[in-house]
């Protein structure tokens, strides 16, 4: 077994493959009051994030789109972790997630990310960081209710 195979299996952990095949909250909620579109031209990933805000809290969050396994799994798991969270909590999680996938040293110590830690393997593949963060960038734009689509480039 080559090292490369080992790293690839790190990247495509079972939980990532499972979420990419059966993404959670993959829908367009009728009651969504804010949304944004995101595009990662490097890989061709597209996603639209829908949120239903209740004051400062994310009452409901869902997404639609098409893309690689990493981008789909990341969006799916993001919607799971963010339901019920406030804007500030979402911003903090985004910061931690970005640190994790870019290989910042502080990230492995943070407990809040939970299952999202499976994305730590992405840090070995700089080209895939944008796949993993696309949904989060799009979420940020949805929270700000921006009309301009987000591009990772
Ligand atoms: Zn991708």
Tell me the CA–centroid distance for residue 105 and ligand 1, in Å. Answer: 24
pLDDT by position in tens, the chain (length 153): 344 556 667 778 899 999 999 999 999 999 999 999 999 999 999 999 999 999 999 999 999 999 999 999 999 999 999 999 999 999 999 999 999 999 986 655 555 788 898 998 899 999 999 999 999 999 999 999 876 778 887
Domains recognised in the chain with CATH numbers: 2-151 (3.90.1010.10)
pLDDT at site 79: 98
Tell me the CA–centroid distance for residue 94 and ligand 1, in Å. Answer: 18
Tell me the CA–centroid distance for residue 143 and ligand 1, in Å. Answer: 23
Long-range contacts of 20-24, Cβ-Cβ distance < 8 Å, separation of 24 or more: 20/68, 20/69, 20/70, 20/72, 20/73, 20/76, 23/63, 23/72, 23/73, 23/75, 23/76, 24/76, 24/77, 24/79, 24/80
Tell me the CA–centroid distance for residue 55 and ligand 1, in Å. Answer: 32
Tell me the CA–centroid distance for residue 74 and ligand 1, in Å. Answer: 10
Tell me the CA–centroid distance for residue 41 and ligand 1, in Å. Answer: 9
Tell me the CA–centroid distance for residue 71 and ligand 1, in Å. Answer: 5
Tell me the CA–centroid distance for residue 61 and ligand 1, in Å. Answer: 21
């Amino acid at each position: 077994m080559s090292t490369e195979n080992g790293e690839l299996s790190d990247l495509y952990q079972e939980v990532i493959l499972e979420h990419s095949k059966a993404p959670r909250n993959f829908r367009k909620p009728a009651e969504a009051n804010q949304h944004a579109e995101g595009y990662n031209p490097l890989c061709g990933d597209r996603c639209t994030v829908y949120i239903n805000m209740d004051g400062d809290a994310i009452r409901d969050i869902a997404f639609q789109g098409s893309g690689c396994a990493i981008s789909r799994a990341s969006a799916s798991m993001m919607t799971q972790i963010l339901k019920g969270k406030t804007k500030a909590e979402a911003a903090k999680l985004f910061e931690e997630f970005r640190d994790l996938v870019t290989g910042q040293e502080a990230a492995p110590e943070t407990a809040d990310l939970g299952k999202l830690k499976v994305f730590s393997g992405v840090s070995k593949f700089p080209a895939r960081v944008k796949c993993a963060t696309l949904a989060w960038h799009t979420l940020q734009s949805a929270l700000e209710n921006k009309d301009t689509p987000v591009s990772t480039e």
